[in-house]
């Protein structure tokens, strides 16, 4: 089959569909509401948007009872709220003016964050060269991401648009901004004697210049740098005249060694008093060598330290070999079966034409290798820009899932004989395609990577985890090796004459075989719709199904002849366009009710939960999974549902946690990185005092039971 026009047409349809949805969602939306928070983009511009006059933007977050988000230093777990601005030329956003947080205890741990309603103000500089629009208002765009937690943690994000009048005042929220300014810590006058010093395992603070209203009172203090002190420890403090001193244990697994650190202080009893103050403390002396690895949880680091046999680092060449083997095994993963069906059809079409087999084998290999490198390079670039992403990240986007569903619907209709692209294209284009069939094989390779990339085959996990931390050239070499391994069977078969001779000669049977191959495509569409339902709920899945039906009707209408074709095509295209506007946004919306809840016997994973369970002496098994990972679903319904395995787990009193990565979740991404992995599935046993045990990507009952017996 000819894939080049099919993919181009699908990209055009996807683009025309996504942009209207984006406009419908973002038109002028300044409020995002979830079950946990109400977030609103607001502004304070008393003199309008004018050079030299104050302009402050802010994200106001109202939390439901018992839910909280995080300060710039989240504490022992959590993530600070992140704001990314898109402003007109001449406007420059500053840093978040973080209000005073509160300490939120969680067992032996503690976080710093906000409950109730909080405003995160951001001052904006209006340059003298700012040119306001001739008509209309100044458009402010914000993309915000926050982690909201109670007992469980939910990563959320939102896109906001706010239009500000250029000349008239915007002071509706002046009270909220005044309160946020009052809550923002005031700087303490610089003093060389204001410092911090390490004495054994205690970090002491000495602060001069605090106002008289604070002197003699017990203070709460908040370090601006994470993983320096034992966050939950109360420490000791005292006043020596006008000088405040305190001592607090350093973090057991310290990963930061700052030469200077900001310390926020306020009255500990919660009274407003004189407000909060911020002191800059310089380090007096030096830090010892950090033992803990950056980003490694205390429980994991303790287990690594106690492990008698230190792990041997995986060399680059071993990772390269593992990548080739993993790519080879990737052909056996269920998610690749639809693409293999297309390749089997390609073999049959070429029959005994050895040259055609070889040319198309090379083209397919190039498509696979370059696509793996491009996808890997994109992931590395986004991670370098601060995004918490892992392998398979593209299927965490509902828009990508919907686009793939549309693509495979068109492929299925083409294979079923509903339409032929040659009938839709000018004769010159069709002739050009006939002269360059290798381009179709190349695009087959691109398609193979698009559908296969969410899978992680055995040997791939460690190689991908290592690639994330390697220099770009070495990392891309590993991604290329995975692609080479995946393409290797088809490349070898295309160059072995015996394979071509073993195939039946082309004939009438090929038409029946081609139509049969439509069913794996439609089965893939069913899976993709199910994945979308896990991300956006039943409304999103229903909207996608309706749009796919209308897309199929458009394709069918274009196959008709005469005046009937024109009438029905216009009606069906209009129906598709109206439906995209009306129900399309359901595909992209965030529906928290669609978040998978853990089944009976399992608990939802959340940051810090493994450490808490290990501290109580309980062994833990974590299933890092995602709805779009077919291998994950296979393991879930076989080995993880096996009666003997479940009995063994119950006998050892293993706590079962499920980390669902179907949506983008920076906390799960970070946890995978700590284990040296970058994709799912990942299965891990934790036991206090022992190194974590990571199992194979495709787990067998025997492997699982053997690991349980060693707990």
Write down the domain spans for the chain: 4-16+316-587, 34-184, 195-291, 596-709
Q: How far is CA 483 from CA 99, 320, 369, 487, in A?
A: 49, 11, 4, 6
The stretches of 504-517 forming alpha helices (DSSP H) are 509-516
Domains 34-184 and 195-291 share a fold: yes
pLDDT of residue 506: 60
Helix 398-415 crosses helix 518-557 at what angle (to 10 degrees)? Answer: 90
pLDDT of residue 194: 92
pLDDT of residue 313: 40
For residue 144, how many other CB atoms are within 10 A of its CB? 20
pLDDT of residue 651: 92
Are the CB atoms for 37 and 62 separated by under 8 Å? Answer: yes
Contacts of 654 (CB under 8 A, 6+ apart): 618, 619, 620, 621, 685, 708, 711
What is the per-residue pLDDT across 620-640, written as a single tens digit (0 to 9) for each? 999 998 876 767 877 888 899
Q: Is the peptide bond before 681 cis (omega within 30 degrees of 0)?
A: yes
Tell which CATH architecture fits domain 596-709.
3-Layer(aba) Sandwich (3.40)
Structure token digits, residue 141: 């765009």
pLDDT of residue 24: 33
pLDDT of residue 311: 40
pLDDT of residue 309: 37
Segments in the chain below pLDDT 70: 1-28, 134-135, 168-171, 253, 255, 269-273, 289-316, 319, 333-354, 379-380, 382-396, 421-437, 451-471, 497-510, 590-599, 628, 630
pLDDT of residue 303: 46
Which DSSP string do the residues of 216-269 spell out, in sequence order?
TS-EEEEESSSSSB-TT---EEEEETTEEEEEEEBPTT-----SEEEEEEEETT
Q: pTM of the entire structure?
A: 0.43
Q: How far is CA 576 from CA 24, 549, 573, in A?
A: 16, 9, 5
Q: Give the residue from 380, 479, 371, 467 showing the smallest Cα distance to 676.
A: 467
**Domain 34-184: assigned CATH number:** 2.60.40.1250
pLDDT of residue 8: 43
Q: Give the residue from 399, 405, 389 showing the smallest Cα distance to 664.
A: 389
Q: CA-based diameter of the chain, in Å? A: 99
Fold of 195-291: Immunoglobulin-like (2.60.40)
pLDDT of residue 133: 77
Cα end-to-end distance, the chain, whole Å: 53
């Amino acid at each position: 089959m000819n894939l080049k026009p099919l993919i181009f047409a699908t990209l055009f349809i996807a683009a025309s569909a996504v942009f209207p949805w984006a406009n419908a969602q973002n038109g002028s939306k300044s409020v995002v509401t979830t079950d946990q928070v109400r977030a609103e983009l607001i502004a304070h511009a008393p003199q309008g948007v004018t050079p030299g006059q104050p302009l402050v933007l802010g994200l106001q977050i109202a939390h439901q009872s018992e839910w909280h988000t995080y300060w710039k230093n989240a504490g022992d777990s959590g993530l600070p709220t992140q704001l990314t601005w898109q402003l007109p030329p001449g406007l420059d956003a500053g840093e978040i003016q973080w209000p005073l947080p509160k300490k939120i205890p969680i067992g032996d741990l503690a976080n710093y964050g906000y409950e109730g309603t909080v405003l995160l103000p951001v001052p904006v500089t209006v340059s003298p060269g700012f040119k306001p629009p001739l008509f209309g208002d100044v458009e402010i765009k914000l993309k915000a991401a926050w982690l909201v937690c109670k007992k469980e943690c939910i990563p959320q994000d939102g896109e906001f648009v706010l239009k500000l009048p250029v000349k008239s005042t915007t002071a509706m929220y002046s009270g909220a901004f005044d309160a946020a300014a009052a809550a923002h810590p005031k700087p303490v006058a610089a003093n060389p004697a204001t410092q911090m010093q390490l004495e054994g395992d205690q970090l002491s603070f000495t602060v001069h210049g605090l106002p008289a209203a604070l002197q003699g009172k017990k203070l709460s203090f908040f370090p601006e740098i994470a993983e320096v002190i034992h966050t939950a420890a109360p420490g000791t403090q005292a006043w020596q005249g006008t000088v405040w001193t305190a001592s607090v244990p350093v973090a057991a697994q310290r990963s930061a060694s700052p030469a200077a650190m900001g310390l926020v202080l306020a009255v500990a009893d919660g009274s407003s008093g004189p407000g909060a103050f911020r002191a800059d403390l310089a380090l007096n002396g030096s830090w010892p060598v950090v033992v803990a690895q950056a980003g490694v949880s205390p429980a994991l680091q303790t287990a690594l330290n106690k492990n008698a046999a230190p792990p041997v680092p995986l060399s680059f060449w071993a990772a390269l070999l593992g990548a080739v083997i993993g790519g080879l095994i990737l052909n056996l993963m269920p998610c690749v079966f639809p693409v293999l069906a297309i390749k089997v059809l390609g073999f049959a079409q070429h029959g005994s034409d050895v040259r055609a087999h070889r040319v198309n084998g090379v083209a397919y290999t190039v498509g696979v290798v370059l696509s793996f490198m491009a996808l890997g390079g994109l992931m590395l670039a986004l991670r370098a820009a601060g995004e918490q992403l892992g392998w398979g990240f593209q299927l965490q986007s509902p828009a990508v899932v919907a686009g793939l569903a549309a693509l495979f619907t068109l492929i299925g209709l083409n294979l079923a004989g509903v339409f032929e692209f040659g009938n839709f294209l000018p004769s010159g284009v069709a002739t050009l395609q006939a002269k360059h069939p290798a381009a179709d094989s190349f695009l087959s390779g691109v398609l193979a990577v698009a559908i296969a990339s969410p899978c992680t085959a055995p040997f791939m996990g460690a190689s991908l985890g290592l690639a994330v931390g390697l220099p770009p050239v070495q990392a891309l070499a590993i991604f290329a090796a995975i692609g080479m391994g995946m393409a290797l069977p088809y490349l070898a078969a295309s160059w072995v004459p015996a394979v071509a001779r073993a195939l039946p000669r082309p004939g009438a049977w090929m038409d029946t075989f081609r139509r049969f191959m439509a069913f794996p495509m439609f089965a893939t569409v069913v899976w993709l719709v199910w994945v979308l339902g896990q991300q956006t709920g039943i409304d999103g899945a229903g909207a996608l199904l309706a749009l796919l039906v209308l897309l199929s009707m458009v394709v069918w209408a274009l196959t008709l002849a005469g005046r009937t074709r024109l009438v029905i095509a216009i009606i069906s295209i209009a129906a598709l366009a109206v439906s995209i506007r009306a129900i399309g946004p359901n595909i992209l919306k965030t529906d928290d009710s669609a978040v998978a809840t853990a089944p009976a016997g399992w608990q939802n994973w959340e940051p810090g939960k493994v450490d808490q369970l290990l501290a109580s002496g309980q062994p833990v098994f974590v299933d890092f999974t995602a709805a779009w990972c077919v291998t994950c679903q296979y393991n879930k319904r076989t080995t993880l549902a096996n009666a003997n395995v479940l009995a063994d787990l119950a006998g050892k009193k293993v706590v079962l946690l499920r980390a669902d990565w179907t949506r983008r979740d920076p906390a799960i991404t970070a946890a995978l990185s700590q284990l040296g992995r970058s994709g799912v599935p990942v299965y891990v046993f934790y036991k206090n005092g022992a190194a974590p045990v990571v199992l194979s990507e495709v787990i067998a009952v025997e492997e699982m039971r053997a690991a349980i017996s060693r707990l």
